[in-house]
Amino acid sequence: MQDARSRYRKPCLVVGIALALGMLLSAAARAQQAAPPTNATPIELAKSVHNPFEDFVKVPVQATTGFNLGNHHDTGEAVNIEPLIPIRLNAQWDLLVRPSLTVGYLPTPSPQFGLTDLQTSFFLTPETASKWIWGVGPILQAPTASSTDLGSGKWAAGPTAGFVYNSGPWFNGILAYQLMSFAGAHHRGSVNQTYLEPQVSYNLDSGWYGQIDPPITYNWTAEKRNAWTLPIGADVGDVVPLGRDNLGLQVGAYDFVKHPQGGPGWMIRVQATLLFPTIRSR
């Protein structure tokens, strides 16, 4: 009975840690506010939820539940926090910094709970882009995982880039990176992974939106039948006022058409995105 209580307590702890970190980031961002509220429309704020190259501070907190893991069809949990920090370099260019921190619970092959590897992306993006938006730069992965099954044990790096089309109610694009290991634990396997995130979203004047946003990965070091992670599904969301700022809320479900052996068969994800349009780089 004690093991069962501990097992169900861990996902709750994941959510608690994520909410606490989100509140800290929110408080830090609010402490910097000095400008009056912006006049961004609901549809513009909805697009800001999707935009990986936004020019103001935003803090997405995403909770993902994976189902049918392993032979016993277990359930896994992960909470990711990926704040976007824009830095204005000059009148033509911005530098965007996106650290990605995940806390997870993996029930199989043995229960594991804790931090995964920390990823940080850096994008150089033109300051005046509005319809065709792009960014390019490096990505770095550090072996911060608190247990073996939650991370690679390797330092890895590579290029990352994104391209976005923004017109009318549509906000579509693709984000990609390639990670390859260059240092770390000698007894662990090398990292060679491609990540693709295509996105198609339709945004209403009210702030409601629908999107298709599957995170696709290909592991070049795995056997071919275990290389792809390919989910298919959709999300729906809305942006609501939060004092002088705004909050994006969304929920979605994805089925894994392809996944490594033992990986989840399908997932539900819930995301809350704190938007601070008064804290801008432009």
Strand runs labelled E in the chain: 56-69, 74-81, 85-88, 93-106, 112-115, 118-126, 132-142, 154-167, 170-184, 192-203, 209-212, 216-219, 228-242, 245-258, 266-280
> b/e per residue, 120-154, with b = 16+ CB within 10 A?
bbbbbbeeeeeeebebebebbbebebeeeebbbbb
- What is the arithmetic mean of pLDDT over 258-282? 89
Please say if the pLDDT value at position 7 is more than 80: no
Lowest mean per-residue pLDDT among 35-39, 132-136, 151-155, 163-167: 35-39
Task: Judge if the upstream peptide bond of residue 264 is cis by omega within 30 degrees of 0.
Answer: no
User: What are residue 3's phi and psi, to 5 degrees?
Assistant: -65, -40
% of the chain residues with pLDDT over 90: 76
pLDDT digits (tens, 9 = 90+) for 199-247: 999 999 999 999 999 999 999 999 999 999 999 999 999 999 988 889 9
Please say if the pLDDT value at position 37 is more than 60: no
User: What are residue 124's phi and psi, to 5 degrees?
Assistant: -95, 125
pLDDT digits (tens, 9 = 90+) for 13-34: 444 555 555 554 544 444 444 4
- 2-280 folds as Porin (2.40.160)
Report residue 187 as tokens. Answer: 């007894």
Domain ranges for the chain, please list them.
2-280
Q: Which pLDDT band holds residue 280 (cuts at 50, 70, 90)?
A: confident
pLDDT, position 2: 38
pLDDT, position 4: 43
